[in-house]
Structure 1
């Protein structure tokens, strides 16, 4: 599995989203896009991250930047998650794992000595030409959305 690096062309990204929508990264050419991957809907860190990006969504929009959060949850679960926490970001469902694998965020993890495969909490900022401008791996949620916003404003 290859890790995506800055200046690389962002891989194709077409997903079903909450609200029976569809997200196609190619349709956002000419705009900046934040693509953040999170392990599981409705867990504490993932909820906080979604809320933090949602709180700043107007500022992201003002910076001509779209925001999508991606997990392997079903669209139905994403709909409940978004509604329960009043999230304002697009939520994409990668149920079959093709996107998380293509983006290099489906990784081996350890918890209490047990190894398993899961999503790395990672964020990619895509520039107007469809290239990866910035990558954050092993994201710590506190303050992350604000940091991404500051970088997006400068781009």
Structure 2
């Protein structure tokens, strides 16, 4: 499993519009919230994607882009995005290569049958391409708000000693 302090594995994947998202191009520009989810159009995945979309502008104000990854294809992502009014980029990892890089492609037991699937997980990557938080097996409800708090801390720490200054105010 990946841990805080590891270099984030780089990748390039197509989004719902079949435009490539290349993690390496974000280096030096923005923080990245990279979240993995099992499937489009399921209740938990819909809640999570909608929550991140609802807070996308707040993330952007902290120099952060949010992208979701699942094994669904680009057309399924486009339908999901359009039906739900989502604004975050949804990346297609149909061969699960990136899921494997991030150690989220795991055996799961569903209805008594073991099969492979995505472990809902989120990674916060700083502008230098370093993992600052690796959150495995997360719960969708309230997750975007918790991740946003971690991103705010990250940006505060990157901008100097705001925490220390607050302590002395």
Q: TM-score, normalised by structure 1?
A: 0.97
Separation (CA, whole Å) in 2 of partners of 1:108 and 1:20: 29
SS in 2 for 1:19: coil
Alignment: residue pair count: 153
Equivalent residue for 2:149?
150
1:137 maps to 2:148: no
> What's 1:22 paired with?
20
Q: Once the 2 structures are TM-superposed, how far is the Cα of residue 139 of structure 1 from its aligned partner?
A: 0.6
Root-mean-square deviation (CA, aligned residues, Å) is: 0.7
1:79 match: secondary structure: helix
Q: How does 1:50-129 map to 2 (within 5 A)?
A: 50-129=49-128
Where structure 2 has 5 or more consecutive residues not aligned to the other structure, the ranges are: 155-169
Secondary structure of the equivalent of 1:20? coil
Corresponding position of 2:7: 9
Q: Which moved further from structure 2: 34-43 or 17-26?
A: 17-26
Q: In 1, distance between residues paired with 2:113 and 2:63?
A: 42
Between the aligned partners of 2:110 and 2:96, the Cα distance in structure 1 is 21
Q: CA deviation at 1:106?
A: 0.2
1:19 Cα deviation (Å)?
A: 1.3
